[in-house]
Amino acid sequence: MAATDLPLTFKLKLPAHLIRVAVLAVLTSMPPILAPAIANAQGAPPLRAVLLPRLIPDAIRQMLPIVFDSPAAGAADLVPQKVSVVSMVYCGGASNAAANAYAVGLVVPGAAPALSSPALHTIDCAAPLANVAARLMNPNNGPAWLEVIRLRASWVPWRMTLVVADAAGTAKPGYTAPNLKGLGQIAAYNTSGIRILAGRGSNVAFDLAIAFPGSAIIAVAFPSRQVSNPAPYLNDPAVANEIAIAPAMSNVILDAQYTFVNQVLQLYGSTFDIPLPIEGVTETITAKNVKIAGADNTMTVTGDLEYRSIDYAASMNCEGDDLAVHQVTLDPPSANCNQQDLMERLQCQGQGVAMYGSSKALASAITQYYQGQPLHVSTQAHPLDFAVGDTDYQATFQALKSSSHGGAFSEAGRATVRRAVNTP
């Protein structure tokens, strides 16, 4: 049975407040970015997302129902009928191949809405499908028939498919459940040429690779048409360690290469307003030309800080396994004291000394205010917009732990995925 390819599209809204948002704005988007130069296909991928078991069930619920054509249920049916997967439980990756995963779904007649509460649970993954169907059938209410199916999700470059691997149905007297056992593919999703960024990056396409190790799901993004064999990136042994050290309440881990983050920041040329209480009044410092770099358990953010019409060259050093702010330094603009008149030259030099002293005092005030705070950023007010097929979704992210390893910045935290309010 031929399935319709469902395109995946993403659109990032970059937030515009706090210097820390400059770092996380990239991470919360599942994006890569600027054309061929954005990442070296031979190096690490620009972005990786690891969906953990706490997030997967909620994400699956938001994608239901899945409506497809079933074979005719009997001689009286002249054409295939529409049926719907209205509940689903994720059963994890296949033990012999991370490219495959399984789920159990509940199918009912017609184009039906998703159930408001889960009908299937992880215990149903190992139960006989016929037993699950019998348990779910309500002889008084509910549909005339229902079917429980075992779905196999498979990914090969660059396409994910859903195939019915097994099925068992039951029906009320006088009705017949369709035979879905040999149906085969019911949906296919194209994961190449994905448009992720908005505005200046909207014409840049990326390919998304997917793997299903254990109870997690990994998605890795590459510049479009630059990687033909993504398998080495999907089998990174570092993922297991990241999962092990993530906070218990985390449901997603996001990794972005520093080169990628900087390209995003350069592309959008964003500025970030940073609140700072000074002399009892909260003032605003504006960060511009932000760049980040890091190594194991250390990260440095550099850029220009504008405060009271003066531009300072600034840097912020973060250290530790949660990247807490350690120190902020500010250098004032250099004074050009080459006046021929001695008094003017001395006055200029005095102003330079005063400016140097005030910059150190301001840096000390910023350090004192932010020192020890981990580099965590939330994006509830700036959700990521994306689409799967004809359905629009929004995702938000709240970081719980930040880390830096080699050339990558990582955040473990809690994400939410919801259908957009304008989606039927």
- 81 to 109, 148, 186, 366: CA distances (angstroms): 8, 17, 13, 65
Count of beta carbons in the 10 Å neighbourhood of residue 341: 9
Q: What are phi and psi of 286, to 5 degrees?
A: -105, 125
Per-residue pLDDT of the chain (424 residues; tens, 9 = 90+): 434 455 554 444 333 322 333 333 333 333 333 333 444 434 678 899 999 999 999 989 988 999 999 876 555 555 678 999 999 999 999 876 678 999 999 999 999 999 999 999 999 999 999 999 999 999 888 899 999 999 999 999 999 999 999 999 999 999 989 889 989 999 998 889 887 666 777 777 889 999 999 999 999 998 888 888 898 888 888 888 899 999 999 999 999 999 988 988 888 777 878 777 766 667 888 889 999 999 999 999 999 988 888 888 999 999 999 999 999 999 888 767 676 676 766 676 666 666 777 788 888 888 888 899 887 766 656 677 766 656 777 888 889 999 998 889 999 999 998 887 665 5
Nearest-angstrom CA–CA distance, 45 and 47 = 6
Nearest-angstrom CA–CA distance, 308 and 18 = 17
In 3D space, the residue among 362, 422, 358 whose CA is nearest the CA of residue 392 turns out to be 422
User: According to the model, what pLDDT value does residue 6 have?
Assistant: 56
- Which stretch of DSSP H or E encloses residue 37? none
Alpha-carbon radius of gyration of the chain: 27
Nearest-angstrom CA–CA distance, 167 and 40 = 44
- 129 to 126, 137, 174, 215: CA distances (angstroms): 9, 12, 22, 21
- Which stretch of DSSP H or E encloses residue 218? strand 217-223
User: According to the model, what pLDDT value does residue 238 have?
Assistant: 85
- Which stretch of DSSP H or E encloses residue 170? strand 159-171
Name residue, tokens 């054309």.
35
User: According to the model, what pLDDT value does residue 139 have?
Assistant: 85
In 3D space, the residue among 226, 206, 229, 230 whose CA is nearest the CA of residue 218 turns out to be 230
In 3D space, the residue among 205, 196, 199 whose CA is nearest the CA of residue 268 turns out to be 199
- Which stretch of DSSP H or E encloses residue 35? none
User: According to the model, what pLDDT value does residue 62 have?
Assistant: 87
* Residue type, position 20, single letter: R
Q: Are strands 252-257 and 408-419 parallel, antiparallel or unpaired?
A: antiparallel
Nearest-angstrom CA–CA distance, 412 and 406 = 17
